[in-house]
Structure 1
Amino acid sequence: MIENRFIPRILILVAGNNGTIGRCSWNLYRAFMNRDDVDVICVGIHRFDGGLKGFDSCEFFSDKYGKQENSITKQVKWLKGIKESYCPDMTISTLYSTNLLNALSGGQDYKVGIFHAPHKQGRSLGLVKYAFSLLQYWFIFPKLDFCSCVSKEAEEDLKSIKTIDRSKIGTIYNVHQVDEILKKADIPLQEEVLPSPYIIYCGRLDANKAPIRAINALSKIKSQLSLVFVGKGDEPFVSELKKQVDDLGMTSRVFFLGEKSNPYPYIKAAKALISCSYSESLPGVIIEALALGVPVVSTNSSRGIWEILLADESYNISLADSYQTKWGVITSNHAFKDKSKEEQDVINLAHGIEQVLTYSRIPESEFLSKVEANTITMQFLSLINHEK
């Protein structure tokens, strides 16, 4: 007699087909697709031109982005129709905006919302938008069956919302395809002859990521070290960065390469990766650098940095100077709350760069096993298995 095996149906709801969260969503979707014990489909809200190719076969609510397409009522109705047709056992929404739709869509499915950052970071959006987001945290997100946080800091922050059952909040990290990262990193560079040695900044160029701190820190280091930027940003902001480089007389040491579809060879060839943000959650680029054996220097922009560098037990929100681990250096970030401390943060960042340059090949990090595809998918599946 052949035993009927329960094959859970997983619906993954993404906000869009591009950006950092888009890549995290694609990694999760692919991780489920690679399992033979689940049935999975992925749908999204906005399909953008030039998005990740993996989403090409997925259904999207709209190929445009405007007020009409932003109608929450229409999006909820659309999602309800998909759920009625597919009958998922679990729906995983991968961003704040899609968590809202997931919670409002009803159905008998087990609803999981992924939260990437502490809700307090929403204060930067302004009082009105932050107040509106709090209403969702208080009255809508409690309708989710589980709130999956990508870092322990985000988990602790979410547990401060009294209306959400603390037993329905936990940490499940983002999936990182380490084998693929290693494979892509071995593709030879063709279009640039890079300076040597150099440190690399890889990510969006914007005010919160604070790439100007990397430039100012480098200016305090008297060596042949160069700085390479891989990433894009709004033209006025990038122009200001380039002007600062000119003003400091550092045009021969700072290079802007723009966005790269495969940044890993550039990271692998670097002496270190630098992250100089004011506020982060669990920066994926730092995990990717560790996978490539590249040490990191990072401002103290979140507890997630300490998680990745396996120093969570030593977490110090008020770090005065720097803290060294086997995989990199964390430096102060007082300017996040007190702009008068910016100069001291930059000095400490420069010192952190000098410290990380003394590192040779770093040891393989145990953290990588926590973001492996099978580990993460099993954690999600255990949620519905527990319900059975």
Structure 2
Amino acid sequence: MKKAKVLFFIYQMGGGGAARTLLNIINNLDRDKFSPMLVTLNFDGSYESEIKEDVKFLKLPTRRLSKSIFQLAKIIKEEQVDLVFSTIPRVNTIAILATMLSFSKAKSVVREADNLGGDFKTNLQLLGFGMMYKLSNQVISLSEGVKENLINKYKVKATDIKVIYNPVDLKSIRNKVERGQIPAEHQSIFDSSDKIVVTAGRLVDQKDQRTLVSAFAKVNPQISSRLVILGEGPLKEELERQAAELNITDRVHFIGFQSNPYIYFEKADLFVLSSKHEGFSHVIAEALATGTPVVSTDCKSGPAEVLNKGEYGFLSKVGNVDDLAENMLHVLSLNDQQTIEIIQKGYERAHHFDAKKIVQQYEEVFLNTLTK
């Protein structure tokens, strides 16, 4: 059987969840059935070094999405691509247009990764994205909540949407935990008897680390602890000022983006996600896979699905400092046996998202789309 050539298109292979998802799909795709290639704009991304060697990787000579349409269309035509897969609304729009303008047999599959919405202008924009999505051959949603949003705000038909959860590469995570080592400059954080709370994500409004820092300030006087924040972003200075105002500067550690966050997760007593909205929340599934208990906001729409409405972790009200602090204190106060039980349940849940299983679902969608 001839292998299907699948072109994966993304803005850049940076440190975000969308890039990590693409990495997991590409690396685990069945090479007997598919030949994957990756195209990005002209940016360097932190996950590039993890792409398997057999993947053809091209960078377009532009950093502007609007200028990439015809360049991408040319590649689709010349490489005789069978299927184009993309994620993130603006990137999806470009991928759909480029696939059409390639005047080839290539088909388009787009993935929606977040529960977007807001004011009138934003919702009007989502309708525009929805009109474009209808020109694709298949829409994939990474959670039931995101599917609901696609139906209500993008006006995409339910029958045109397939839900596939994010793939978590359990084997890769295990290897990184076993072979990784906390850098010397961070080792002292973990050498104390303090409880360690960790979070990871861009320092942006969506992730709402402000609420987490305030909640941690309530937790620390009751249980001596440290907050480790992984990630970069425009709110770093503001969050540092907040920590200073709350007199917890020596207890909050901003350690930037880490290519191997799992060694930090595994050493922590608790992982906390404080987001205002998520599509799926890849990172809490990864935290469960490292054996770390999870507290998350019950934001639209991923965490409740990943944690199965609180069965595998604790859900807090969005933006509620007291509720978040209460759940954090609860987990940090558990005895050893209770903690072991939570960790075991977390491992059990993480296996529901094993990349090998999830990528098989993607393969099925790809093959079905090609025969439409």
Cα deviation for residue 96 of structure 1 reads: 1.6
Judged with a 3 Å threshold, the aligned counterparts in structure 2 of structure 1 residues 260 and 383 are, in CA distance, closer, same or farther, namely: closer
Change in CA separation of 1:227 and 1:162 when aligned onto 2, cut-off 3 Å: closer
Decide which of 285, 288, 313 is 1:287's aligned counterpart. 285
Q: Displacement, 1:384?
A: 4.4
Amino acid at match of 1:231: G
Which runs of no fewer than 5 residues in structure 2 stay unpaired?
Answer: none
2:8 maps to which of 8, 12, 31:
12
Matching of residue 58 in structure 1 with residue 51 in structure 2: no
Give the whole-Å Cα distance in 1 for the aligned partners of 2:216 and 2:88: 35
Are residues 1:248 and 2:266 paired?
A: no
Show CA shifts across 1:212-242 (max 9, x none).
21221122222212211122222xx322222
Partner of 2:230: 230
Q: Unpaired segments of 5 or more residues in structure 1?
A: 312-323, 336-344
8 Å contact from structure 2 (residues 286, 350) kept in 1: no
Q: What is the identity, as a one-letter code, of the residue corresponding to 2:27?
A: R
Instruction: Give the counterpart of 1:115 among 112, 136, 154.
Output: 112
C-alpha contact (below 8 Å) 1:16/1:44 kept by paired residues = yes
How far the C-alpha of 1:156 sits from its partner, in A, is: 1.3
Higher relative contact order (CA 8 A, sep 6+): 2
Q: Which has the higher helix share?
A: 2
In the alignment, the residues of structure 1 paired with residue 356 and residue 177 of structure 2 have an alpha-carbon distance, to the nearest angstrom, of 22
The aligned runs of 1:57-206 (5 Å cut-off) are 58-62=57-61, 64-65=62-63, 69-71=64-66, 74-104=67-97, 105-106=99-100, 107-120=104-117, 123=118, 127-128=120-121, 130-137=123-130, 139-160=131-152, 164-186=156-178, 187-191=180-184, 192=186, 193-194=188-189, 195=192, 196-206=194-204
Q: 1:348 aligns with which of 294, 298, 323?
A: 323
SS at match of 2:68: helix
User: In the alignment, what sits opposite 2:299?
Assistant: 301
Equivalent position SS for 1:97: helix
Number of residue-to-residue matches in the alignment: 347
1:102/1:144 contact within 8 Å kept: no
Paired AA for residue 135 in structure 2 = K
- Counterpart Cα distance in 1 of 2:154 and 2:233: 37
CA distance in 1, matches of 2:153, 2:201: 31
Q: Aligned letter for 2:169? A: Q
| Distance in 2 separating the partners of 1:386 and 1:84 | 21
Give the aligned partner of residue 363 of structure 2: 381
- The answer to whether residue 27 in structure 2 is matched with residue 30 in structure 1 is yes
Cα displacement string for residues 178-219 of structure 1 (whole angstroms, at most 9, x for unaligned residues):
111112122222322124321111121122211121221122
Tell me by how many angstroms 1:372 deviates: 2.4
DSSP 3-state at the match of 1:108: coil
Query: Cα distance 1:35–1:310, how it changes in 2: closer, same or farther (>3 A)?
Result: farther
Query: What is the CA distance between 1:285 and its match in structure 2?
Result: 1.1
TM-score, normalising length: structure 1: 0.82
TM-score (norm 2): 0.86
- Judging changes above 3 Å, is the alpha-carbon distance between structure 1 residues 384 and 25 closer, same or farther for their aligned structure 2 residues? closer
* Structure 1 residue 332 corresponds to structure 2 residue 317: yes
Match of 1:257 in 2: 255
How far 1:274 sits from its partner (Å)? 0.7
Following TM superposition, by how much is the alpha carbon of 1:284 offset from its aligned partner in structure 2, in angstroms?
A: 1.3
Q: How many angstroms does 1:127 deviate by?
A: 5.0
Between the aligned partners of 1:51 and 1:269, the Cα distance in structure 2 is 23
Q: Shift of the alpha carbon at 1:17?
A: 1.9
Distance, in Å, in 1 between the alignment partners of 2:154 and 2:35 is 35
Identity of aligned residues (%): 23
Q: Is the 8 A contact 2:20 2:47 kept in 1?
A: no
Structure 1 pair 156–46 and aligned structure 2 pair: CA distance change class (3 A)? farther
Aligned amino acid, residue 113 of structure 2: H
Q: 1:53 to 1:276 in 2, by over 3 A?
A: same
Superposed CA deviations along residues 63-114 of structure 1, whole A, max 9, x for unmatched, are x53xxx343xx42222221221222332211222221122222132231101
In structure 2, distance between residues paired with 1:51 and 1:265: 17
CA distance, structure 1, for counterparts of residue 7 and residue 155 of structure 2: 26
Quick one: distance in 1 between partners of 2:162 and 2:128?
21
Distance across 1 between alignment mates of 2:45 and 2:363: 32
Q: Partner residue of 1:42? A: 38
How far 1:36 sits from its partner (Å)?
2.6
